[in-house]
Amino acid sequence: MVQIAVAPIVLRDTDMKIGADNYELHLSRVRFEPQSPQLTWKGLSPSAIFVDQGTPLWTASLAGAQDLHTTNGLAQYLNDPANLGQQKVAVFKPKKGTVGTMPTYTATLVIAPVPIGGDVDTIGTFEVTLGVIGAPVRTLT
């Protein structure tokens, strides 16, 4: 049996584009998450069991800073009524500057609003889960 080497990614210097703008300076988390329903059917006999996987539904989990001052800041962009429910192409590259070795993930996100405000003496942050149309597409760039 061949032992497969491992080289985990470290999210330290990424690219994250939504629409035409880059937002990696605004984000502390980008995570595409599948939700795969398990389908089961059980009959009247102990051997009459059917298990299968349903089609996964994907979401994009983002966390970031509530920058309410910068024109086109991500929190403002997500809360802009003109963008709500819009489908925007997002491109996530876990490591900037790599060519041909690091995958890039492209997905169509459905824009949703983020919270405003927070606790005293803390930096305002947000967490949001955006719907993904289809699944993220992996390419080597």
The pTM score is 0.88
Q: How far apart are CA 83 and CA 118, in angstroms?
A: 23
Return the amino acid letter for 83.
N
End-to-end CA distance of the chain: 31
Return the amino acid letter for 31.
R
> For every one of its 141 residues, what pLDDT tens digit does the chain have, with 9 covering 90 and above?
999 999 888 899 999 999 999 999 999 999 999 999 999 999 999 999 999 999 999 999 999 999 989 988 999 999 999 999 999 999 999 988 766 678 999 999 999 999 999 999 999 999 999 999 999 999 987
Q: How far apart are CA 121 and CA 123, in angstroms?
A: 7
Tokens coding 84: 């709500």
Hey, which residues does 108 pair with through a beta bridge?
Answer: 89, 133
Q: How far apart are CA 114 and CA 76, in angstroms?
A: 9
Query: For residue 102, what pLDDT is reported?
Result: 81
Q: 123 in helix, strand or coil?
A: coil
Instruction: Quick: pLDDT tens for 74-97.
Output: 999 999 999 999 999 999 999 887
